[in-house]
Amino acid sequence: MPLYGDFLVCGVSTQMHLMVSGFDEPIIGKDDDFAGSGLMADSLIRLGFLAVLPKKNIMGSIGTIARERHRRLLQRLSDYLLKNQTK
């Protein structure tokens, strides 16, 4: 749980044509974790659309993604931030 109880969330979109290759993460019907995600259609997890939400604004969960997918997203975001940090 984040230190202040806030959550870093990213957007999810069915607009597959907007995918930023090597950054966004597609999650499609044939993926092992698609059924548990709660998504209704092939979608993109959009790392370029981030928001910080206080815990009080989180109403619940519609599903989950695989631990490996979550790890991959965190690593990709971390790599991007480190590569683009100001000195």
Would you write out the chain's pLDDT as a tens digit for each of its 87 residues? 446 789 999 999 999 999 999 999 999 999 999 999 999 999 999 999 999 999 889 898 899 999 999 999 999 999 999 998 876
Of 7, 2, 3, 1, which is closest to residue 59 (Cα–Cα)? 7
Domain extent listing, the chain:
6-83
CATH of the structural domain 6-83, one choice from 2.30.30.110, 1.10.150.20, 3.40.50.20, 2.60.40.420: 2.30.30.110
Please tell me the total number of residues recorded for the chain in this structure.
87
Q: The whole model's pTM is what?
A: 0.84
